[in-house]
Amino acid sequence: MIEIGYYDNHYPPNPHRKKQNRWLVPMLLGVVIGILLVVVALPAVLESDLVTQQQTNSNTAGFTGQTNGSSNPSIMNLDVTTQVTNVVQEVAPTVVGVTNIQRQGDFWEQQNEGTEAGTGSGVIYKHDGEYAYMVSNYHVVEGADELEIVLYNDTHVEAELLGGDLFSDLAVLRMDGEIIEQTIEMGSSANLKVGEPAIAIGNPLGHMFAGSVTQGIISGTQRTIPQDFDFDGRADWQAEVIQTDAAINPGNSGGALINMEGQLIGINSMKVNQEAVEGIGFSIPIDVARPIIEELETNGSVTRPYMGVEIYSLDEVPQSEWNETLSLPNEVEGGVYIWSVEALSPADQAGLERLDVITHLDGESVMNMIELRKVLYQEKEIGDEVAITYYRNGEKQETTITLDEQR
């Protein structure tokens, strides 16, 4: 048997109905009083509720910036979309396209035309009254016979390469500043926080998408990315970069990574190029780039300390050779071995020889070639004297080297 319920809470029949007739008159009287109350009181209640609703709407209007004649403070809502568009509108003219033009031909072709070898982006950071200066990536301008700049309004201007640096992947260009009205404001990358907004501006896939804007966040700071410059399968350097999920595609290289104040915080440089990976792009921190930009602008190159040795990381040598060929004791866990020494170089004058294994510079451990270069390039200067700890034929020795200018 199925039990049926009643949605209006209807009661079942009562066999003692006659005993309930005495309640009929009071019930009818209650109904009449209820009707009178509804007819008389309802209009007053509705009018009171309407007034309250109007007051609520009026007060709410004050929170959207409207004036209601009262003393309530007006609070403006922050429109993030408007903020982004305002920032982009202000900064976009300072981001340009860079075209790498190279001439191809042999000895007999004296009048060969240049062809477009690649495109990238650049950022106008300085104007001295006569020239405008741009920063881009070294790999964007590498090998160029001519450089053409495409401004935000599609004006094409020739540019001159003042200098480039392989290790930092930075280059500085100069062009006629007569038609340049604006430069970007440099910010700082020192206090960037993971999760804060970031905007990338550049020219992905060439000038067809010039001035493209992507928005994301700072995904990581002080990341290190190994780089293989000679494509021999061994890392030659580790670049310190900012990680962002703002889309950075081919052609964005050399473009601007900016904060929500429109300040330059990074130079877009590279991305992880794997099918299974999305949203991992990298920029050179502006605090790392700034001194290199200044040196390239002034000298055309970056001058670094020089030892005069060809070195390789010890971890590239089979463990068996550590004992048999290099005669290293068990306490040696890493370092670099010298393959050759240039004649009359600082290393030669300090007495270093082929197959010596360097483990410390000024007491600081160097486990591989990258660490040694970082100590030399970031902590030392030309003319500095550096104490070198090394092993020769299994014996620990020390010498002092005076760093010279890189040739």
Point out the residues that are catalytic: 139, 169, 253
**Residues sharing a CB contact under 8 Å with residue 144, sequence separation 6 or more, in sequence order:** 100, 101, 102, 117, 161
CA distance 150 to 131: 16
Q: How far is it, in rounded angstroms, from Cα 72 to Cα 327?
A: 83
Q: In angstroms, how far is CA 191 from the centroid of its own chain?
A: 13
Residues with Cβ within 8 Å of 22's Cβ and at least 6 positions away in sequence, in order, are: none
End-to-end Cα spacing for the chain: 101
195 close to 157: Cβ distance less than 8 angstroms: no
Q: What is the Cα–Cα distance from 105 to 115, expressed in whole angstroms?
A: 11
Nearest to 201 by CA among 110, 97, 315, 337: 97
DSSP designation for 345 = S
Asked if residues 296 and 267 have their Cβ atoms less than 8 Å apart, the reply is: no
Rounded to whole angstroms, what are the CA distances from 267 to 124, 193, 255, 327, 371? 12, 17, 6, 46, 24
| Phi, psi dihedral angles at 323 (to 5 degrees) | -90, -45
Q: What is the rounded CA–CA span in Å between residue 325 and residue 219?
A: 45
226-262 b/e (C-beta count within 10 Å ≥ 16 → b)? eeeeeeeeeebbbbbbbbbbbbbbebbbbbbbbbeeb
Distances (CA, A) of 254 to 169, 174, 218, 321: 9, 15, 18, 43
Report the alpha-carbon distance of residue 281 to residue 168 in Å, rounded.
16
DSSP state for residue 33 in the 8-state scheme: H
